[in-house]
Amino acid sequence: MRDLPRILRRAAGSAALGLLLGAAACAEVDGSATGAEGSDPRTLTVFAAASLTDTFEELAERFEADHPGTEVEFNFAGSSELAGQITEGAPADVFASADTRTMALVVDAGAAEGEPRVFARNSLEIAVPPDNPAGITGLADLAGEDVRVALCAEEVPCGAATRTVLEESGVDVEPATWEPDVRAALTRVRLGEVDAALVYRTDVIAAGDDVTGIDFEEAAAAVNDYPVVDLADAPQPDLAAEWVELVRSGTGGGVLEAAGFDVAAPE
């Protein structure tokens, strides 16, 4: 349809004009029915935990390739913030949370279309600058008097997991900064503004050489399940269901596993 005015300028006579308009109308109908190029574009809106940024962006490329004319738009943030936006009526098709507690807020509000499904699991790791200036070797070192630590705010999943780990281990950490999501905490380390942060293992992997990750055995006290669900008022319900299917498929699992997630078997 974009070239129709140019074609019409070249048409000679009313008969030719009628033929061209008829052909264009047929092409538009066919494009809309099949999702082919020329049909109206569609947007799938996905609200997802910040720790899913890299994996979901990779999956979006595959999804868009399989759905010509469709664009995937993301809102990445702390899961609790996203849940609040959804329950207040923000238009979205899919919600993927970094824990089941936050997902329950959306379900209890009647905003979920189906039953949330766990598709991945994640655990905490200590992130430090590559040269590890504070000499961090384990969780207890984060309680050092001169150690500057970034922690996720307690209302978001990584913060709730951090609280559990610290309480279970008896380590008392006074953070230099509380961050709204795990990527913000990681950024503090990447910029050299803190000596360490408690983030997800997958975020350390995604940061590459910008940070060094330190495993610690106390992390086993808080392993987060990641659920996903299509939403009750999804503007694109068919696309929402297909996105959830992709995330939980072998293809989605392969991308997640490569990023460091433990992949949950489909139920």
Does 169 show up as a binding residue in the annotation?
A: no
Structure tokens at 157: 């999943």
Rounded to an integer, what distance in angstroms lies between the CA atom of residue 98 and that of residue 140? 25
Among 145, 49, 53, 57, smallest CA distance to 97 is for 49
Phi/psi at 143 (nearest 5 deg)?
-90, 0
| Range list of H helices, 35-98 | 53-66, 79-87
Is the separation of the CB atoms in 94 and 103 below 8 Å? no
Distances (CA, A) of 131 to 125, 148, 173, 184: 17, 15, 22, 20
* Distance, CA of 196 to chain centre: 24
Cα 94 to Cα 49, 55, 63, 182: the distances in Å are 11, 15, 14, 20
51 is in an annotated binding site: yes
- Please list, residue by residue across 62-84, b when 16 or more beta carbons sit within 10 angstroms of its beta carbon and e when fewer do: ebeeebebbebebebbbbbbbbb
Known binding residues are 51, 79, 182, 200
Known binding residues for molybdate are 51, 79, 182, 200
